[in-house]
Amino acid sequence: MELAYSFAGLVVGFIVGLTGIGGGALMTPILIVIFGIPPVVAVSTDLLYAALTKAGGVFAYARKQLVQWRVVLLLLAGSIPGSLLTLEYLKSLEELSSIETLMNLTLGISLILTSIAVFARNRIRDLALRVEDRPWVQVFRRARPMITVTAGLVLGGLVTLSSVGAGALGTALLITLYPRMSMQNIVGTDLVHAVVLTGVAGAGHYTMGNVDMELLAFLLLGSLPGVFLGSHLGARLSPQVMQPIMGSVLLAIGLRFVLAS
């Protein structure tokens, strides 16, 4: 079973390196559906898995000055309280079945939203650029900091409950709110926010005793070389081919969890 966990880490890491889609959107469903890991343990362990696998990329983007720190702080001003409030709510639920039902439903919704974000990323950017000179957009722009904080609050709750959304949903959010920001800056900014958010949420779940540290170790053992291999091969594959495939897979998995809950 330990080898199977590492192989799952290798496969997910490879796909992440290949497509850029966040590991949480793939690893959590695999742990629940294929390995039968309880949703609480799967989500909690995957949060720390995501934080650790993405942490290395933060320094590379920061060194190249591709992180918009002000936007990161605005997102964290919402997402960290959102995560902490969600953790407190989970602690208040006495029945494990209630927690698992809530997590399954949130996981399904997050996966569906992530699939939409994958499909529509370029269209979202094009639309945002087309309407940016409209009068109502100028009003929206003045309120953008508060909107960013509010969006972070919602994202923090979703990620803490499902371990999904910090990557693809965060990217779609930044494209919508900051269409003039380059894609490299969007990726770097979203990456820093995702690492901090998943780290905080994962640490919170750890204090609740939900993280399986042995499982985490075996997942990391496979995923790190997988990300390396996938990133090298991914440079030769067209995103126009891979993104629709990944979007379809995430949509199908998301519908499965929503219907099952």
DSSP 17-70: HHH---THHHHHHIIIIIS---HHHHHHHHHHHHHHHHHHHHHHHHHTT---HH
pLDDT tens profile 202-216: 999 999 999 999 999
Average pLDDT rounded to a whole number, residues 159-181: 87
pLDDT tens profile 15-60: 777 766 667 788 999 999 999 999 999 999 999 998 888 887 788 8
How far apart, in whole angstroms, are the C-alpha atoms of residue 162 and residue 207?
A: 17
For the cut 80, the answer to whether the pLDDT of residue 78 exceeds it is yes
Residue 219 contacts by C-beta under 8 Å, 6 or more apart in sequence? 5, 6, 8, 9, 12, 27, 45, 49
Average pLDDT rounded to a whole number, residues 128-150: 83
- The pLDDT assigned to 32 comes to 92
Residue 30 contacts by C-beta under 8 Å, 6 or more apart in sequence? 8, 12
- The pLDDT assigned to 82 comes to 97
For the cut 80, the answer to whether the pLDDT of residue 195 exceeds it is yes
- The pLDDT assigned to 57 comes to 78
Using CB atoms within 10 A of its CB, is residue 98 exposed (0-12), middle (13-18) or buried (19+)? exposed
Mean pLDDT, all residues of the chain: 86
Residue 10 contacts by C-beta under 8 Å, 6 or more apart in sequence? 222, 223, 225, 226
Token reading at 67: 């992180």
How far apart, in whole angstroms, are the C-alpha atoms of residue 193 and residue 134?
A: 30
pLDDT grade for 74, boundaries at 50, 70 and 90 = very high
- The pLDDT assigned to 155 comes to 95
In the chain, what percentage of residues exceed pLDDT 70? 94
Nearest to 229 by CA among 9, 1, 47: 9
- The pLDDT assigned to 235 comes to 55
Q: Where are the domains of the chain?
A: 2-260
For the cut 90, the answer to whether the pLDDT of residue 201 exceeds it is yes
